[in-house]
Structure 1
Amino acid sequence: MNFIQTRGVDNSKPEKVTFSEAILSPIASFGGLYVPENLPNLGEAFLNKHRNSSYKTLAKDMLDAFAIDIDSAVIDEALNLYDKFDDASNPVPVVKVKENLYVSELYHGPTRAFKDMALQPFGIVLSSIAQRLNENYLILAATSGDTGPAALETFKNRANVKVACLYPDGGTSDVQRLQMVTEDAANLKVIGINGVFDDAQSALKRLLASETFKKALQEKDTKLSAANSVNFGRIIFQIIYHIHSYLELVRQNAISMGEKVYLNVPSGNFGNALGGYYAWKMGLPVEKIIISSNENNVLTRLIRDGKYDLRGCEVVSTTSPAMDILKSSNVERVLFDLFGEARTKELMLSLEEKNFYELREDELARLRELFDADYCTGEEGKKYIKETFEQYDYLMDPHTATCMKSYETCSKDDIKSIIYSTAEWTKFSPVIANALTGEVDTKDIDALQSIAKVAKLQIPSMINELFTKEIAQKTVIEKEAIEEEILKFL
């Protein structure tokens, strides 16, 4: 399968590239992104074939349908990493919370967040390509809290790969920060910046497009790639769990094959929702995709009003910090799919130059056929955490809690909803402890112990051990010094 470009083609890039080429160099012409030239049409026959398949069998067959240029043995090795999740036979449990509401738990991997679903196999795939080509790669990652730990975990000590991970200092939970700064592999560099996630992501995109930076890397015999969801190597693995979650509902006799469901996604950078959108286009029976946001509700306004307006906006720090994002990269891929390359380029350049774009009335109508959206405040989220735990004995993190409001406001009672839980309770324990007990200003370790006692749960060992590990990564800099710091690391 070939990959094409969301903003058209300039003279610096070929018109079409392979999957390997797209993930090794993920930024396309005019600063755009790569998308599949065609999506495989799977349909009900594919779903029926995998009615009782394991997650890995489903994943392998779907990847085969994309006909990507990765050796089958490498794909098998990559997918075998799911065996290290909490339950090798079912790495993504789908749990009924109440009538018509199911939670797809995407956080049972090594860093306790949904980014493991894509980044665990992605690390092996990218490293294998680099080794095959006998090339060295610098992988850039910008994180609001979950991509960083997952990227560092998958790439540590991998051949032909180094990672520079940017995170907003003070903008993650303590557990997320500790997961990054205690990593001590020689091929990893963690850089805190005095800023917000959008500053880190903007720096990543600028460096990916910078010929000067690439030339400096070339002098060090190094090429450049990225672990963020601008890279389709992430997205392709995120399609799988949407199909799996639907089949889990069939297996549980919650729905009949072919029955439509809502996909309700807590959304920051939109990669998770994009995976659901592609699964829908490939044949998954979906009623609508519901986008759940926090107070940084640019996506809610886009889907309701057709305006992406960042003029005068600043990121608001919330109780769901992984979604404290204003520029959602993967919206661009949906715009391209709906409106084509010329209109996508026009809209994205307007956003970059004016911090604003507006869809036409007919364009908004098309978007509204596919998506609905609402946002949830931090106080509302804590109320949902407490109520859901007390009424249904189900514990959720603050990102998952945003979906509870949009479940109430955007879905019909007679259609089943799948909510995607993106992080374990351990990642944001002070917020959850406050919701359950009212305690405030609790340190992560104390909040973890408090929740474990109330909910009668064990703190996973990989989380508990963080608080006694040595801090190996101590760099915190101004955002203007990012390039210099990365080159120093190399």
Structure 2
Amino acid sequence: MKEILYKSTRSKEGTLKASEAILKGLADDGGLFVPLEIPKLDVSVEELSKMTYQQVAYEVMKLYFTDFTEGELKYCINNAYDSKFDTEEIAPLAEVQGTYYLELFHGKTIAFKDMALSILPYLLTTSAKKNNVKNEIVILTATSGDTGKAAMAGFADVPGTRIIVFYPDGGVSPIQEKQMVTQKGDNTYVVAIKGNFDQAQSGVKAIFGDKELAAEMDKRGYQFSSANSINIGRLVPQVAYYVYAYAKLYAEGKLAKDQKMNVVVPTGNFGNILAAYYAKNMGLPIAKLICASNENKVLFDFFKTGEYDKNREFILTTSPSMDILISSNLERLIYKIAGNDADKNNELMNSLKVNGKYDITDDMKKQLDDFYGNYASEEETAETIRDTYDKTGYIMDTHTSVAASVYKKYKAETNDDTVTVIASTASPFKFTRSVMVAIDPKYDSMGDFELVDELSKIGNVKVPNAIEEIRNAEVRHNNLVEVDGMKDIVKKFLD
């Protein structure tokens, strides 16, 4: 099997093995690690269609993580995708009105982030052993709601690691916040910041880029790494579920051999749809990649005009995990459509830093034909939840509804009847108030946990363990800092 090496999107020199890229998280020059080439799937869809989720994940990940032995990789996969998930198939498909919802929320924290963050601790600790790392690994992460809890659940009490999560105060749902502040584990730390997600993410990136701090931490036996989707160890596991979805539809006779499918992804940080793009580039028969935004529609505008412009009002919506104006993972796509040209990518990323925007060339724009972008307003998001429930009894969360709303627009524009998979990224129980009020405004008078029980009743679905365990859990984390206090609190935690 061909060895796949990684390099930064911002430099021409230097390559790393997969385990080294996973350990670093972010490149020293601020760039993201990308494979020198995207490997091709080397098993047929017939073979994949007979496999479990774990087996499909292995067939995908072995192509990217080529310095892991078969035993190491299977250890990581089998420990990640086990009884933590409440369905045996890990990522089931639900058929609703002729469209397939890939339910990525059956893990420990009921959001799609579990799909990658269940395996990342194993990938990281295995990488540390492979590279004789003696330092304790400190995971630093900014979250718009879901990554934080999923990362903490994954890393809680994992020997040789600590995890510090920053989230925007008032910028996540009440359930998301309760999940984070009640997190157990002596190595977990949670901090609310007086700012939005973009400021939290920029603050984390600044800490990663602080060479003096890195030297000081190294002396004290620590090194930083990331659990955000900027870490290639987060992105690659996400590729697996698109391959699995295709294989499953093929197994069920919903897709013929080589027949294409469309994929609709609600996205803010661009990681989840980039994983689908990687799957397509591996040879998976994907036709359109439909990128769904909420009212923070920076990606929709980008696909429409070729200009990425974050200079706009930051809107707090009912789909908070997508309330993002700097889509970090888009840089990986930009680098690729620039012909893997680090200089060009640097020029654009510098323009984003200095002017808050950049324009891509016509040549680059032509390479985005695989993508379709649109957005859903708050009203459309609520209406799709209500309409789908009224007609089918199926209850989706707000982020999934953004995707379903955008898919409706795509179909109306194109009349494209290709078999379509919608990435269903969170359980409705994570956003109970927004979901229940969308179904009927009368629910707004209920308390958060009353709403949980009512949702369970009207949707005829069991309340997930992730919700039951926080009902009466004690608050263990109560930190609030200004944006410029992020570095100091990190140092305090590590004293």
- Interval of TM-score (by shorter of Structure 1 and Structure 2): over 0.9
* TM-score (norm: length of structure 1): 0.95
Aligned to 1:486: 490
Aligned to 1:365: 366
Given that 2:100 and 2:422 are in contact with CA atoms closer than 8 Å, whether structure 1 keeps it comes out as yes
Distance in 2, matches of 1:365 and 1:182, equals 47
Aligned to 2:417: 414
Given that 2:189 and 2:477 are in contact with CA atoms closer than 8 Å, whether structure 1 keeps it comes out as yes
Aligned to 1:23: 22
Distance in 1, matches of 2:328 and 2:18, equals 19
Aligned to 2:353: 352
Q: Does 1:287 align with 2:291?
A: no
How far residue 465 of structure 1 moved from its aligned partner, in angstroms, is: 2.3
Q: Does 1:460 align with 2:452?
A: no
User: For 1:472, what is the secondary structure of its paired residue?
Assistant: coil
Q: Deviations over 1:51-74 (max 9, x none)?
A: 211111111122222252224333
Q: Does 1:170 align with 2:152?
A: no
Cα gap change, 1:225/1:322 in structure 2, threshold over 3 Å: closer, same or farther?
Answer: same
Please report the RMSD computed on the Cα atoms of aligned residues, expressed in angstroms.
1.5
Distance in 2, matches of 1:388 and 1:31, equals 43
Aligned to 2:73: 75
Q: Deviations over 1:56-93 (max 9, x none)?
A: 11111222222522243332222122122445530000
Given that 1:291 and 1:374 are in contact with CA atoms closer than 8 Å, whether structure 2 keeps it comes out as yes
User: For 1:440, what is the secondary structure of its paired residue?
Assistant: helix
User: For 2:164, what is the secondary structure of its paired residue?
Assistant: strand
Amino acid across the alignment from 1:430:
R
Amino acid across the alignment from 2:429:
T
Aligned to 1:332: 331
- The equivalences for 1:40-59 within 5 A come to 40-42=39-41, 45-59=43-57
Distance in 1, matches of 2:224 and 2:292, equals 33
Aligned to 1:321: 320
Aligned to 2:428: 425
Distance in 2, matches of 1:299 and 1:270, equals 9
Given that 2:137 and 2:224 are in contact with CA atoms closer than 8 Å, whether structure 1 keeps it comes out as yes
* Higher deviation after alignment, 214-223 or 202-211: 214-223
Given that 2:102 and 2:423 are in contact with CA atoms closer than 8 Å, whether structure 1 keeps it comes out as yes
User: For 1:110, what is the secondary structure of its paired residue?
Assistant: coil
Given that 1:140 and 1:163 are in contact with CA atoms closer than 8 Å, whether structure 2 keeps it comes out as yes
**Structure 1 unaligned spans of 5+:** none
Distance in 2, matches of 1:244 and 1:461, equals 25
* Higher deviation after alignment, 407-416 or 269-278: 407-416
Distance in 2, matches of 1:459 and 1:421, equals 17
Amino acid across the alignment from 1:315:
F
Given that 2:381 and 2:401 are in contact with CA atoms closer than 8 Å, whether structure 1 keeps it comes out as yes
Q: Does 1:3 align with 2:6?
A: yes
Aligned to 2:479: 475
Given that 2:26 and 2:226 are in contact with CA atoms closer than 8 Å, whether structure 1 keeps it comes out as no
Distance in 2, matches of 1:204 and 1:310, equals 18
Paired residues, what number?
Answer: 482
Q: Does 1:300 align with 2:304?
A: no
Distance in 1, matches of 2:174 and 2:68, equals 37
Cα gap change, 1:87/1:183 in structure 2, threshold over 3 Å: closer, same or farther?
Answer: closer
Amino acid across the alignment from 1:364:
K
Amino acid across the alignment from 1:200:
A
- The equivalences for 1:155-234 within 5 A come to 155-234=155-234
Q: Deviations over 1:409-430 (max 9, x none)?
A: 2244420111000000110000
How far residue 148 of structure 1 moved from its aligned partner, in angstroms, is: 0.3
User: For 1:50, what is the secondary structure of its paired residue?
Assistant: helix
Amino acid across the alignment from 2:479:
T
Amino acid across the alignment from 1:190:
V
Aligned to 1:32: 31
Distance in 1, matches of 2:344 and 2:447, equals 48
How far residue 342 of structure 1 moved from its aligned partner, in angstroms, is: 2.2
Cα gap change, 1:441/1:337 in structure 2, threshold over 3 Å: closer, same or farther?
Answer: farther
Aligned to 1:260: 260
Q: Deviations over 1:222-279 (max 9, x none)?
A: 1111100110000110100010011111122111121111110000111100100000
Distance in 2, matches of 1:473 and 1:67, equals 35
User: For 1:255, what is the secondary structure of its paired residue?
Assistant: coil
Distance in 1, matches of 2:172 and 2:54, equals 32
